[in-house]
Amino acid sequence: MIERVFLLFWTLTCPILAQVLFEKPLSPRIANYDLKAVLLPDAKAIDGSWTLRWQNRSETPVTELQFHLYLNAFKNEKSTFLTESGGRHRAGTYEKGEINWGYVDIRRINIVGGEDLTDKIEYIHPDDDNADDQTVIRIPLSKPVEPGAEIELSCEFYSKLPRAYARTGFGDDDFYFIGQWFPKIGVWQNNNWNCHQFHSNSEFFADFGVYTMELTVPKRFVVGANAVLQNKTSTDSTDTYFYRQEDVIDAVWTAYPDYTEIKQEVNIRGTNHKIEVTYLLAPDREALKERYFLAVDSMFNYYQEWFGSYPYSNLTIVDPPVGSEMTVGGMEYPTLITTGGFFSSKMATELLGLNWLEVVTFHEFAHNYFQSLVATNEFEEPWLDEGFTSYAEHRALERFCGETTGYGNVLGMPFSSLDYHRMSYIPNPRGGTMPTKAWEIPTNFYQTAAYSKPVLVLTTLERLLGTTMMNQVMRTYFENWHFGHPRTEDFIAVVNQVAGRDLSWFFNQYVYGDQTIDLHAGSIINTNFIPDEGWFGDGSEMQFSGGNKEEGSDSTIYRAKVRVYNDGTGTFPTDIVIHFANGDSTVKQWDGSSGLIVYEFHNTPKVTSVAIDPLRKNLLDLNFSNNTRNVEAQSAGISRYTLRFLFWLEYVLQFVMSLF
Amino acid sequence: MNIILKSFKQAFSFYKLYFLVWFLSLLAAWPLFSAIQNALAGNLGMTNVPGEWLQNFNLGYLFEIAVNQPSLAWMTTQGVRATAIVFVLVAVLTSAGTFGIFRELSKGPVDGRFLANFLRLSGTFFGRFFRIGLWVVTCVLLALLPLMAGSIGAIIAVPLVSFILINADVTRIRVVENGEKGMTRHFFTTMPFVLRNLGVFIGYYLVSVVTIALGLGLYRLLDNFITPASVSLIFLMVMIQQSLILFRSTMRIQIISMATMLYDKRKPLPVPEEPVIQLPTNDSTLPNPA
Ligand SMILES: [Zn+2]
């Protein structure tokens, strides 16, 4: 009771003018947090607390609560995160040493105005048998939360931040990127808690709610968060920032003395929606301002056109300092993304020829659609999260950077995002299937299952349905499921509904299954066709026939055989175009079933070439280079490059000659 | 200045030599080129890929072939390794022959057939030049270490590498002159002489380097200008490329000719029978000429 009175007092005196952002809730506001954090730079830690109001929107009473304690992934070498990843993340690994480990310690948790639950905390490990993993807890309740009821909890916690090597923690020079830092309630779904352990490849699944953050830091820091700044107060030594965000699934923030803050206002064309973009740029990145502005303005408009409207009025883009781009760069949170750091710089762009700034920015922002708004379960179906995001990124790159140069002109060679994803898929197409729990996907197949194959599958679907219908599919999917938790079958239902036909054959083979396709043009055999000669028919119908011309004449008649194969295991309906010597061509529809098919032509001009899938609709084809076949060999296009290679070899030898 | 003009004249009129060097470089690079050409033609010759590549290159096809035929990737790797070895051998052979020829020329007209002389001199100095080359590679790699600290390291690396390359050329000249063994000693005892005359050497070498850069610049210009999208344009491009190789070969000859003349002009008294060996330790032998 005393706490209640205190709370009332606090609310009245609180300096937040708790301005509401949206007149009507946009989402089911199930999990609502008021977070407070004091950054302790010497201890590399946060002294934190929250009040959580959680609603039971199901039909069944809830008798226990489950929470993620994400930071405990970095508590010791026995956590599931560390054992699964070997402590590796991208190019980096964790560092040993006392200061480098992280954890979250719940000091007290109680029902507001009621029972203290601290002693009831119990670690559980629903995904594996790792008794040492402490990233999920359960707390049994003496009194269940009834359907439709709300429970209000209060918690004090101490978050020791790890040295950032995987997405959250502290870096050199007072750099902090603080994600997954507070005890976070799971998702009550189908009469069960969906609250997975923190795995190295997946971390996001949460309910929507209203978040307020009161962040206190020493004065030297520049602060940013995934929320709207509503107020700031100061003492002699500290600043306190008051943030609020509504209808999101997470709260994240960053503090670093050397950020340069830049603002951009983006107008969504054709609407009166304006978004304020805040850039927090590491030193020397200001030079990228114009490039960012152009890319970000385009990306907002593309996604609006293809998927639907970004409902918030703010986005924060954090470009981390050198050294931290590999650890916390390229990450996604609702209304806040981190980008490519050094690899986006002018120097790196010129050196590598990669459009890294655009690749990362388009990707991370697309997560605001696929994961933050369409809040899929990254633990259980990572492809709905990373795959849809990568598809959006691919489309944005294709439009912004050119069809063949989405990723750049790497060493002078055009390199598209589809090239990149095919290079991931082709060497190992059957390493697993896409809708698989993240931690059950083999490590060497994760990139393919979660990112690359989904891009190829969705782009193939786009080419199968046509871009207009695909846009309709994506818009409907977004419209139906933003602020919800769809699963693979929900997406498929949208596709079937919009397309007006059943596409299970496609999804069963390439989404749920691991079927492969390798369409392959085999031999073309033209044989001089000599018809029987003489008079045929009776009476007035009688006609003289035969007498073929000499071989090589334009009007020589041939009997031609064209062989095409599918060396894969799946089927995919495909067009085959056959060209003749007289300039004619014919299109055959092939069901693309596995094995060999032979097309025979009698009484025709010579067949000169065959092309399977000439419009390249099927991006899952394991080998495009064998899709065409000509009767005559060509080599100029090869020699052009091999002769250049010869030249460079000789040039290298000249260089060696000056050494020896 | 006289030396520069003379060396240019000598190099560019010595067509037998520069055509030989060009031919050797073509010969050394040919097997790998032709293996790759054949592999690609075998895989893609009957497809539309060559036609597409005439317009635009696509890395994807190469990748598909590499994945579908792992043996091809293996063959290429082995081919690159073998070519690297051949390159070193050809480089030593050419160097030994060329330095030898210029040493003999500086003493007066050379009798006999050019090719026979070239091969004889290559054979004579092959082993010694190979060992000098090993020292050069080691020292150049060490001299490049400052680059680890970023592009600022070039301030140290560039003068050091220049010094090592000039020192190596002068060592070669001394070796063919005296016909002595003991390359390590030669390589390091040349350093004081080169250091004393470093300004002069760098000045003269710079003329050659600038000439090479101009040639390369002209090539880049033409390369940007011409998109070889037809057989005749490809032929034109190959002519231009091979001309650059020929030019580059001639410039190496010019440098050797120039260095020989420069050495003769500046050389110390003939090396005494029992030289005072001042073998400095490795570290102190890499002075900072700046
Ligand atoms: Zn992603």
Q: If you measure from the C-alpha of residue A411 to the centroid of ligand 1, how many angstroms do you get, rounded to a whole number?
A: 26
Q: ipTM of this complex > 0.90? A: no
Q: Does A655 touch chain B (CB under 8 A)?
A: no
- Residues of A (516-555) whose Cβ lies below 8 Å from B: 521
CA end-to-end span of chain A: 88
Query: Can you tell me the distance from the alpha carbon of B69 to that of B76, in angstroms, rounded to the nearest whole number?
Result: 11
Residue with the larger pLDDT of the pair A92 and A487: A487
Residues of A in contact with B59 (CB under 8 A): 410, 413-415, 419
pLDDT band at A8 (very low <50, low <70, confident <90, very high): very low
Mean predicted confidence (pLDDT) in A234-259: 96
Is it the case that residue A551 has pLDDT exceeding 60?
no
Backbone angles phi, psi at B273, to 5 degrees: -55, -50
pLDDT band at B83 (very low <50, low <70, confident <90, very high): very high
Q: If you measure from the C-alpha of residue A393 to the centroid of ligand 1, how many angstroms do you get, rounded to a whole number?
A: 10
Residues of B in contact with A645 (CB under 8 A): 33, 36
- Give the best-scoring range by mean pLDDT among A153-157, B17-21, B146-150: A153-157
- A-interface mutation test, from B18, B22, B58, most A Cβ less than 10 A away: B58
Cβ-based neighbour number of residue A468 at 10 Å? 9
- Any idea where the domains of chain A sit in the sequence? 24-255, 519-658
Contacts from B179-184 at CB under 8 Å and sequence distance 24+?
A: B179/B124, B181/B128, B183/B128, B183/B131, B183/B132, B183/B135, B184/B131, B184/B135
Query: Can you tell me the distance from the alpha carbon of A332 to that of A321, in angstroms, rounded to the nearest whole number?
Result: 17
**Model confidence pLDDT, tens digit, residues A165-221:** 888 999 999 999 999 999 999 999 999 999 999 998 888 999 999 999 999 999 999
pTM of the full structure: 0.85
**Cβ atoms B59, A413 nearer than 8 A:** yes
Is it the case that residue A12 has pLDDT exceeding 90?
no
- The answer to whether B252 contacts A636, with C-beta atoms less than 8 Å apart, is no
Dmax over CA atoms of chain A, in Å, equals 117
pLDDT band at A254 (very low <50, low <70, confident <90, very high): very high
Q: If you measure from the C-alpha of residue A387 to the centroid of ligand 1, how many angstroms do you get, rounded to a whole number?
A: 8
Query: Can you tell me the distance from the alpha carbon of A158 to that of A160, in angstroms, rounded to the nearest whole number?
Result: 6
- Residues of A (408-427) whose Cβ lies below 8 Å from B: 410, 413-415, 419, 422-423, 426-427
Residue with the larger pLDDT of the pair B170 and B283: B170
Question: Which of B21, B37, B63 faces A638 most closely, judged by CB atoms?
Answer: B37
Query: Can you tell me the distance from the alpha carbon of A102 to that of A76, in angstroms, rounded to the nearest whole number?
Result: 8
Looking at domain A24-255, which of 2.40.50.140, 2.40.37.10, 2.60.40.1730, 3.30.450.40 is its CATH number?
2.60.40.1730
Residue of chain A whose alpha carbon sits nearest to that of B30 = A646
Instruction: Mark residue A607 as left, alpha or beta (left: phi above 0; alpha: psi -120 to 50; beta: remaining).
Output: beta
Percent of chain B with pLDDT over 70: 91
Percent of chain A with pLDDT over 90: 73
Query: Can you tell me the distance from the alpha carbon of B170 to that of B163, in angstroms, rounded to the nearest whole number?
Result: 11
Query: Can you tell me the distance from the alpha carbon of A534 to that of A514, in angstroms, rounded to the nearest whole number?
Result: 57
DSSP states of A533-558 as a string? PEEESSGGG-EEE--PPPTTSTT--E
Mind telling me how many Å the CA of A189 is from chain B's nearest CA?
A: 44
Structure-block tokens of residue A154: 């209060």
- The answer to whether B91 contacts A653, with C-beta atoms less than 8 Å apart, is yes
Residue of chain A whose alpha carbon sits nearest to that of B89 = A660
**Model confidence pLDDT, tens digit, residues A577-602:** 999 988 899 999 988 888 888 998 88
Q: Does B43 touch chain A (CB under 8 A)?
A: yes
**Cβ atoms B130, A660 nearer than 8 A:** yes
- Hey, what amino acid is at A183? P
- The answer to whether B234 contacts A636, with C-beta atoms less than 8 Å apart, is yes
Mind telling me how many Å the CA of A611 is from chain B's nearest CA?
A: 8
Query: Can you tell me the distance from the alpha carbon of A394 to that of B154, in angstroms, rounded to the nearest whole number?
Result: 39
Residues of A in contact with B242 (CB under 8 A): 647
Packing angle of the helix pair B114-144, B154-178 (nearest 10 deg): 150
Which of A336, A156, A313 minimizes the C-alpha distance to A251? A336
Is it the case that residue A6 has pLDDT exceeding 80?
no
**Model confidence pLDDT, tens digit, residues B227-270:** 888 889 999 999 999 999 999 999 999 998 888 888 888 776 55
Packing angle of the helix pair B114-144, B70-107 (nearest 10 deg): 110
**Cβ atoms B170, B266 nearer than 8 A:** no
Q: Does A615 touch chain B (CB under 8 A)?
A: no
